[in-house]
Amino acid sequence: MVTLLDGKLLSKKVQNEIADKIEKLKVKHNKVPGLAVVLVGNDPASMAYVGRKEKMAGNIGMYSRQIQLPETTSQVELLEIINKLNNDKEIHAILVQLPLPKHINTDKVLMTIDPEKDVDGFHPVNMGKLLSGLEPAAIPCTPLGVIKLLEDYNIELKGKNAVVIGRSNIVGKPVSILLLSRHATVTICHSRTQNIDKICQNADIIVVAIGKEKYLKKEWVKPGAVIIDVGINRSEETGKLVGDVDFDGVKDLCSFITPVPKGVGPMTIAMLLSNTLKLFEKTL
């Protein structure tokens, strides 16, 4: 029997715990965590994500500020705004929604965020610490959410074969490091990987973050495998939100699987709020 990994439920639990902590810290210090979310342009998916992040932060008693900038914003203007946020005492966490417009150098932007306010953990200092086994100010939200979900369901990682499909800085690379640090044997696959079906057939755990509907097929999945679907795609057939996994095809084969929606997505937001609280606590 397959078990659904309920990210929505765990996310709610994490948010309740954070809300309680914020209430106590507010009484003690007369301050609350402040999150700034910066969005450049008006991509509908990014606008929806950013709106959700800001709303959730407000719901649990944080101060949240959304900075929406036009598509034509120059790199210099954006860097000035980030520098102001770096020096703003009310803001403890800064998130710049990706992807940015093509005329802006994403690396330069991420490197301008104060590493101690880098709620995504994307600054090279924080990424470097993660890779070195040192404690970064924050760990990227989606990878951290994946690990929390696996841990909450007591899924063993030590010695297991974990296959990560996708090598992005946002998900694939950091989730691979987190799995490795928990003693999994990790294989990273991507668009140029040969015999990906064979590699997956040997996996105890598969994390898919490739952005293609029904990419992971049942023929690739070993019976009893654990499937984590990070994808968020709009289905060409139904127009509904779907992941990267052929859910109906693999669901009777695996032991655990994340649904889309209500799987990894809510965990990303929970970890964003958890990281915001952590960065705030470090300033007290």
- Catalytic positions: 53, 97, 120
Stretch that binds ligand GUN, among 74-82, 93-101, 184-192, 238-246 (CB under 6 A): 93-101
Tell me which of 6, 54, 120, 229 binds ligand GUN, using CB under 6 A.
120
* Closer residue to ligand GUN in complex, CB, 106/255: 106
- Owner of token pair 């060409």: 236
What's the CA gap between 70 and 122, in Å, rounded? 23
Stretch that binds ligand GUN, among 15-23, 90-98, 200-208, 234-242 (CB under 6 A): 90-98
- Quote the strand ranges of the chain, DSSP E: 3-4, 34-40, 63-69, 93-96, 161-165, 185-189, 205-208, 226-229, 233-234, 241-242, 256-257
Establish if 100 lies at the interface with ligand GUN (CB under 6 A): no
Q: How far is the CB of 199 from ligand GUN (least distance, A)?
A: 25
Establish if 95 lies at the interface with ligand GUN (CB under 6 A): yes
Stretch that binds ligand GUN, among 10-18, 92-100, 198-206, 214-222 (CB under 6 A): 92-100
Establish if 275 lies at the interface with ligand GUN (CB under 6 A): no
Q: How many CA atoms lie within 13 A of 156 on its CB side?
A: 6
Tell me which of 141, 150, 163, 200 binds ligand GUN, using CB under 6 A.
141
Establish if 50 lies at the interface with ligand GUN (CB under 6 A): no
- Torsion angle in degrees (nearest 10) through CA of 225, 214, 49, 209: 50
> Mask of contacts with ligand GUN, 217-256, x by CB under 6 A?
----------------------------------------
Contacts of 271 (CB under 8 A, 6+ apart): 14, 139, 141, 142, 144, 145, 148
* Closer residue to ligand GUN in complex, CB, 121/225: 121
Establish if 64 lies at the interface with ligand GUN (CB under 6 A): no
Q: Are strands 241-242 and 233-234 parallel, antiparallel or unpaired?
A: antiparallel
Contacts of 148 (CB under 8 A, 6+ apart): 10, 14, 267, 270, 271
DSSP structure string for 5-26: --HHHHHHHHHHHHHHHHHHHH
Establish if 96 lies at the interface with ligand GUN (CB under 6 A): yes
Tell me which of 19, 47, 98, 180 binds ligand GUN, using CB under 6 A.
98
What's the CA gap between 19 and 50, in Å, rounded? 20
- Torsion angle in degrees (nearest 10) through CA of 6, 10, 13, 14: -160
Positive or negative, the CA dihedral 220, 226, 230, 231 is positive
* Closer residue to ligand GUN in complex, CB, 95/199: 95
Establish if 170 lies at the interface with ligand GUN (CB under 6 A): yes
Residue least distant from ligand GUN (Cβ): 98
Point out which residues bind ligand GUN (CB under 6 A). 95-98, 120, 141-142, 170, 268
